[in-house]
Structure 1
Amino acid sequence: MRVCYYDLLSVERQATGDEIKKAYRRQALIWHPDKNGDRVEIATERFALIQEAYEVLSDPQERSWYDGHRDAILKGDDHKGQRDSSAGMCSDDLMRYFSVAEYRGFNDTDQGFYTVYRHLFQKLANEEEEAYRNNPDEDEDDNHQDNRGTYTTLPSFGNSKTPFADQDGYLGYGAYVRDFYAAWTNISTRKSFQWVDKWRLSDAPNRFVRRAMEKENKKAREVAKKDYNDTIRNLAVFLRKRDPRMKAYQEEEQKRKEEAAALQKAKLLKEKQELQAQRANYQEPEWAKVDDRHLDGLLSDEEQEETGEVEESDFYCVVCDKFYKSEHQLTSHESSRKHARLAYRLKKQMMADDMDFAFDTVAANSKRRSLTIATMRIYL
């Protein structure tokens, strides 16, 4: 009988994440090999189990899976029960492999990590191929069968030297660790699971009962098939998280990303420095220089008021009581709505006062500073 992860850490099954973390640290201090010189081998095995228990229970997804299959995992091979030998490996058989106790170190020895799981997945792959041979027309759209109807062999687990991904030259599908995890984490078995049928159809007294039997048998097969698929997929995820090849690849990828980010940062800094140098050495050409004095006529009344650039001149609007630097500014101002409103009010006021303007006797070239001449310009 295997030891429960909760028992290894001495915590309740309802323990929180913080409680599990504290319990792991406490047990790790007790069973660390360096602190058990008189029983190094036992302490090493116990310490590995404690680490595995913490890794599983600290991960919400793995903990949920463990809680749902705890009894089956603890049984392992102790209680296989009676079943059809044609079924091959079932979910209960795979539960024992969710533990570091199944291998001895990450090496290629007979009991090593790579050898144990390579043999396991090779056996599973052989069973899948045999199931396909026996039922070639089942599940036509399954991902194990290509468009020509030929069977695609599932990738092997490989060994410690198997590359995780393509580096120097493509070796073909199945030659990489990435191919293995991509296939087995999305496995959809071809096994029929007819051995889980609840009823023997030949015992049906009539066709109505037979249909009911077929319906229940189909449901039982679907449940067993889903459980089998989930078990294999979770086992692949369990191994991927602990696979040294995966960890090495992630470290290389992280290093590569950091180097690429550093190069990009250096490139941007260099470009920025070059732009700053160009800006510092820039000399404006003569043709691009603009005399600010030529821009005076382009400013509006409000802009000139805000900048304080309006000075007294001969171009004066008596209606608005404002001076302008050029005739163009004055003419532009007189066409504005604001000027027209003020002029209209002034006209009404002057007409109310019954004033005589004598428009025809005023000289056209007189100065606009005169009130009479300015008013004449408004109403001519």
Structure 2
Amino acid sequence: MGASQSQGAGSRGAASGVPAHDLTEDGIHKQDFYGLLGLEIHATTDEVKRAYRKLALKYHPDKNPDNVEAANDRFRLISAAYEVLCDDQERAWYDSHRDAILRGETEGDQFRQFKTGKAQPTNPGSNTPGLTPRHLLRFLDPTFILSLPSTGPKADSDAGFFGVFRRLFERLYEEDYAAASYPGEAATPHVSYPSFGYSHTPWAYSRAEEVVAANSMAARDFYQAWSGYTTRKSFGWKDGWKLSEAPDRRVKKMMEKDNKKAREAGRKEYNETIRSLVTFLRKRDPRWKAHQAATAGDASGRASEAELARRRAEAEARARAEAERAAAYVPQDWERQAPVEIDSEFESEAEDGEQDDWDCVACDKQFKTRAAWENHERSKKHRTEVARLKREMRKQDKELGLN
């Protein structure tokens, strides 16, 4: 839905009883993520990103020094909308429940009690629905998550991030524990699920710590267990027919089939809602974020060490190859002549008056003095030329079949 359409929807929502605190100043529902970003519901991911960048610049608190509080509130809302719409899994879940969310069908006493932390829900009965997907939808609101303290001393309080969700999952566990099986169906075995834990609960224990903390659960244990959650509730309240009113066996069978289908649909929706909540929470859990940051740092360190090891291995391989080539090289006869003998030849020629210049055969150069010649012999250019001549001579030897 476009920006103008969203505003119209927001105004109609206000008129139909949506609380003012659920609307922005320009009448957009705070949970209408498409409206907050000024997008149609079929917008692409690239369009979502472009819209977010544009609005983030507009509403960033640094850009609104005269109205920091309002800008901060709006920036928080568009950031939450962007986070959901850029995640394919969360967006799909939001799209399928968006109408119910905007109609306010997720609000209720259960949610308010957990949100404020001021009262505990009543104990569930074995045949009562307890918390339903309608109640749980509000816990999947990213703006609600952002409103909860997740760090500091308040994080573990009843109204903090860890306090709220620890009590919520304790409640879900209690309801499952108390649930009775459907008449005529085998009872589902009871499964023990770990607690959500506290802000100081580690993401995972090291092997050494596991021995000490044998009876303690890490945050990772919570997510692993609850991500595969399956309820024991019978969902008998989903039955649409009273079997006692069936006029005959054929109709009764049809009623039973319809009732079973309704129960299975209700159970599937409930299981999927809780699993979605678990995935949603993990992404925003400070313990998970800290674990991810530490893992990324370790991986970066390991990559650096691996790169250094690779470079060392390459350098050692090059050194070995050079040594092997040097050991296999057979010097030519003219290279074997001792420097003393060469010097004596030049000296005898000089004494006979036949050596006025000093020659470099490799470079085809002449020098007037011995000092100049010796200086040239030590030059890099001379050594390079000698090496070139050696390669050419070895090549010629090979072509002629000589050693």
Which TM-score band (shorter chain)? Answer: 0.5 to 0.7
- Corresponding residue number in structure 2 for 1:71: 99
Instruction: Give the counterpart of 2:42 among 14, 24, 49.
Output: 14
**Aligned equivalent of 1:164:** 203
The whole-number CA distance in structure 2 between the counterparts of 1:174 and 1:189 is 24
Distance 2:226 2:209 in 1: 24
Deviations 1:150-194 (A, max 9, x none): x44212211221111123511347611111111222211111101
RMSD: 3.1
SS in 2 for 1:50: helix
Look up the match of 2:57: 29
Q: Does 1:58 align with 2:98?
A: no
Contact 1:89–1:124 (CA under 8 A) maintained in structure 2: yes
Asked whether the 8 Å contact 2:107–2:138 carries over to 1, the reply is no
Alpha-carbon distance in 1 for matches of 2:199, 2:87: 26
- When residues 89 and 281 of structure 1 are mapped into structure 2, their CA distance, relative to the original with a 3 A threshold, is same
Residue 261 in structure 1 maps to residue 261 in structure 2: no
What pairs up with 1:129-144 in 2 under 5 angstroms?
129-131=177-179, 138=186
**Structure 1 Cα separation of the partners of residues 305 and 163 of structure 2:** 41
TM-score by length of 2: 0.61
| Matched ranges for 1:218-367 at <5 A | 218-281=260-323
Indicate if the aligned counterparts of 2:162 and 2:198 stay in contact, CA closer than 8 A. yes
- Give 1:228 shift: 0.8
Question: Are the equivalent residues in 2 in contact too, given 1:184–1:236 (CA < 8 A)?
Answer: yes
Q: What runs of 5+ residues in structure 2 fail to find an aligned partner?
A: 1-17, 23-28, 110-124, 331-397
Tell me how far 1:76 sits from its aligned partner.
4.7
Cα distance change of structure 1 residues 35 and 172 upon mapping to structure 2, 3 Å threshold? farther
Distance of 2:216 and 2:80 partners within structure 1: 29
Contact 2:181-2:232 at 8 Å conserved across structures = no
Q: Kindly indicate whether the alpha-carbon contact (under 8 Å) linking 1:156 and 1:174 is maintained by their aligned counterparts in 2.
A: no
What is the distance in 1 between the residues matched to 2:216 and 2:130? 23
Q: In the alignment, residue 199 of structure 2 is paired with which amino acid?
A: S
CA distance, structure 2, for counterparts of residue 138 and residue 49 of structure 1: 47
Matched, 1:128 2:176: yes
Structure 2 partner of 1:43: 71
Selected match of 1:197 from 233, 239, 246: 239
Bigger radius of gyration among the two: 1
Structure 1 unaligned regions, length at least 5: 146-150, 290-306, 311-380
Give the whole-Å Cα distance in 2 for the aligned partners of 1:308 and 1:284. 21
Displacement of 1:125 in angstroms is 1.4
Aligned amino acid, residue 105 of structure 1: P
Contact preservation (8 Å) 2:229, 2:274: yes
CA apart distance, 1:246: 1.1
Cα gap change, 1:13/1:279 in structure 2, threshold over 3 Å: closer, same or farther? closer
Is the 1:73–1:98 contact (alpha carbons within 8 Å) kept by the matching residues of 2? no
Deviation at 1:254, TM superposition (A): 1.4
Identical-residue share of aligned pairs (%): 42
Query: Which of 99, 109, 115 is equivalent to 2:163?
Result: 115
